[in-house]
Each structure stands twice: as structure tokens, then as C-alpha cells.
Amino acid sequence: MDTLRLFLLGGLSALLVGCATAPPPLAPQAVLRDELFKPASEHIETEAEIFAASPAMQRWLREHYAQLHRDPDGDLRRSLVNALDSSQQLHLDYDATFTRDAAQSFDARSGNCLSLVIMTAAMAGQLDLPVQFQKVFVEDSWSRDNNLMFLAGHVNLTLSRGRDAFVRSVSLTGDELMVDFIPAADLRGAHVHEIDRQTVAAMFMNNRAAEALDVGRLDDAYWWVRAALLEDPRYVAAYNTLGVIYRRHGNLTVAEESLHRVTAVEPESVPALANLVVVLRDEGRTSEAQALDARVRQLQPYAPFHFFDLGIAAMKAREYAKARALFEREIAREAYYHEFHFWLALADYGLGDFDDARHELQLALDNSTTHKAHALYAAKLDWLNAHQPPDPTANIGATLRREALLRGQ
């Protein structure tokens, strides 16, 4: 996992973005159809349960209280964040397998971005440190699993100085400490929008819905996204998830209604429009689907994974040079998706470019988001290193090709 990024923020207001006028409430009850689904097979957590500090978390804070107050500047916030990353203390790891609540992240010492933010907020709350959540506007990052595409958002949080939960003293300053779980370079120049705890809880619930949907648990997916919409009716992404669930469940009319809730407030939402295209086709409304698909293509000329899928087809045909060019084109749009680098490594290997393959495998390993993927890439890299020793002049060809691609040659 990348080292936790700490920033003392000044002039934050210059970066905050928001709507001049708020969109009207979306009234989620109008598109909820409880009668269509069986009861959930798992407990649907509430906001309080998501952010709850478990007895183990509270015990850890008590046991490390003295250590947390050893910061030379007396900054409890910095001590807490250092503890999260220290190999001698919590040493959190990044793992995007599924979205954990605060207690689960603490027990596993790992989680995805949202999970780690929730856990940090829960611990800060135990120390009476004021927390502000932020949505960060970074470039779209797509992933795919089981024929579902996922558009990843990003959140972080800031910690203010506040009253110490144990000594009940108050320290007032104007600075804020931002805690983030992605590299600082990826945040440079990014706009942020303050969001409340209610929205973060809805994001958690929506993630759980998407994860249930991914493995075919449609009933659980419905109850999770229902909870998200009731938690924060303003969280538009949940209506998109709801539309996909209804479509998978065969409820096309209400699927369309749910997706139109998104486009009513975000008329250029590519995920919602693309899902509407699928629903319209399922309903046999071919001409409407074609017209809407043309609009989607205007907004997004090449769909996510377009060049990757062409590259896979080329790999199956053993056209390794063509596959390599296509994978490199996809990476030019999404530089940090591990699977793209893995397949580029396979294309390089097919061409006999073992050092380029080694380089791409290392990038796949560095950008892997689950322990399973990390283990796979590590094993492949170990095998390659054992059978094809590295060349000290490696990666020159790959570097030249990338530079040419960026220049549009």
C-alpha cells in the first residue's frame, strides 16, 4: 500500500467546488419495489454500525494513548495517522476485495479507500478529533468483473484539532490535516467537494450493493442499495446501481425509471446513459436505443476496455505485436489498472521481449488491489526472473513506444 499521505491544508476554500443551486430531492420511495425481492441473506448495516468503533479499536486506543501523545508538536492527529501506517503499530494495507466497515477494516488491518477512510474517522471520533469527509474529483478509473463495469470514485478526509477524548482539553488552530490513501501526485490540482457522514454511509451501502450484484446476489444487492437511497436520497450513483439491479432482475420498466432519476440531474452521466441503452434494447425499443447509443459515443468515443478487448482478441489469434499496441493504447487512457499491465506483459513475452514483460509484470504487481492478484503477479514475476535473467539495458523499446504514443505518432 502507498504510504499514507499527510497534508497541512491552507487556502482550501479555493479548491472546493459545489452546485450553485441544489437539485430537487429525488424521492427514492417512488422507485423502490420491496415486494419484488426476497429478504436479505445478510444484515444490512446502519450508518451507526458502519462507523462504530469496536471494543478492539477502543482498547487499542487506550493502550496506545501515551504513544499517540509523543508527537513533538503535540499534534494528536499526526500521531494517529502515523500509527495507521507504522509497521510497528497498525500498518494498514490496501485491499479492494470488498468494502469493510470500520471494525472489519481494523480487524483485517486492510481495506479499500472508502473502508480505510471510515476506519480512520471512527478512530478519530474516539479521540474527539473533528472529521470532514471530501469527495475528490480525479480522472475516471474503471475496472471490470463478471461482465460488470465499475467506475471508481475517491474520498478522503481532513482532521481538525479538537478536544482530547481523555484529558478533555481544547486546542484551537486554523489548520487541517488531510489523510489520503493514494499517492500525492494523483491528487495534485484535484478539486474536492465536502460531503457529510450520511453520504459516506450511502457510498458504503452502494459499494456493498455492487459487490453483491457482482456475484449474482440480487436480493442482497437490492436491500443494500435501498438502504443507500434512504440514507442519502441525493447520492445519485445509487439510482444507477438500482437500475442495473432491476434490469438483471427482469424489471425493465422500473429499471428505466431509476436510470432516468440519474439523467434528470446529470444529463451527461455516461454510466446511466449506457445502462439506459441496454434497457431500451431489452425492451425492443431499437431506434431509441440506437439514438441514445450515438449520444453516449459522442460523450465517450471509446468505451472503457475497448482497446483491451481488441487486444485480448489479438492475443487469442497469437498476433502479439498487434495485441501489444492495443494494450499500450488502453494503458495510455488508464495507466494504473493492473490487468492491463499483466496482459501487456503476456504480449511482450509472446514476442520474446522478456525484459519488457518483466517491467510490465512489476507494474501489475505494484498496482494490484487485492491480495489474490498480488500473489498471482508475484508468482509470474518470480517464474520469469528464474527462467529469463534480466538484461541491464531493459525497457528501452517500451519507453520509446510509450513516448511515441503520447506524441500521437
The domains of the chain, with CATH numbers, are 5-233 (no CATH), 242-299 (1.25.40.10), 308-406 (1.25.40.10)
Q: Which three cell numbers stand for residue 81?
A: 495517522
CA angle 73, 77, 79 (to 5 degrees): 70
Contact 348, 357 (CB under 8 A): yes
Cα 66 to the center of its chain, rounded Å: 34
pLDDT at 96: 73
CA distance 68 to 256: 52
- Name the pTM for this structure: 0.73
CA distance 171 to 379: 50
Q: Which three cell numbers stand for residue 101?
A: 466497515
Phi, psi (degrees; rounded to nearest 5) at 320: -70, -35
Residue whose C-alpha cell reads 489520503 in the numeric block: 180
The H or E element spanning position 402 is: helix 396-406
CA distance 370 to 368: 6
Cα 9 to the center of its chain, rounded Å: 23
CA distance 77 to 80: 5
For the stretch 296-299, contacts whose Cβ atoms lie closer than 8 Å and that sit 24 or more positions apart, written own/partner, are 296/270, 299/268, 299/270, 299/273
Largest CA-CA distance found in the chain, in angstroms, rounded: 69
Query: Average pLDDT for consecutive 10-residue bins of the chain (409 residues)?
Result: 33 29 66 98 98 94 74 72 70 81 92 92 92 80 67 83 42 62 65 86 95 95 98 92 97 96 88 95 97 93 83 94 92 78 94 92 83 86 82 51 51
Query: What one-letter code names the amino acid at 406?
Result: L
CA distance 327 to 111: 29
Contact 218, 136 (CB under 8 A): no
Rounded to a whole number, what is the distance in angstroms from the first to the last CA of the chain?
35
Tell the burial category of 382 from Cβ atoms under 10 Å away from its Cβ (0-12, 13-18, 19+).
exposed
375: left (phi over 0), alpha (psi -120 to 50) or beta: alpha
Length of the chain: 409
Tell the burial category of 14 from Cβ atoms under 10 Å away from its Cβ (0-12, 13-18, 19+).
exposed
Contacts of 386 (CB under 8 A, 6+ apart): none
Instruction: Report strand pairing: 110-111 vs 93-94.
Output: parallel
User: Considering only CA atoms, which of 160, 246, 157, 239 is closest in space to residue 206?
Assistant: 239
Contact 68, 273 (CB under 8 A): no
CA distance 61 to 52: 14
pLDDT at 285: 97
pLDDT at 289: 97
CA distance 105 to 111: 6
CA distance 40 to 280: 29
**Other residues' Cβ atoms within 10 Å of the Cβ of residue 76:** 23
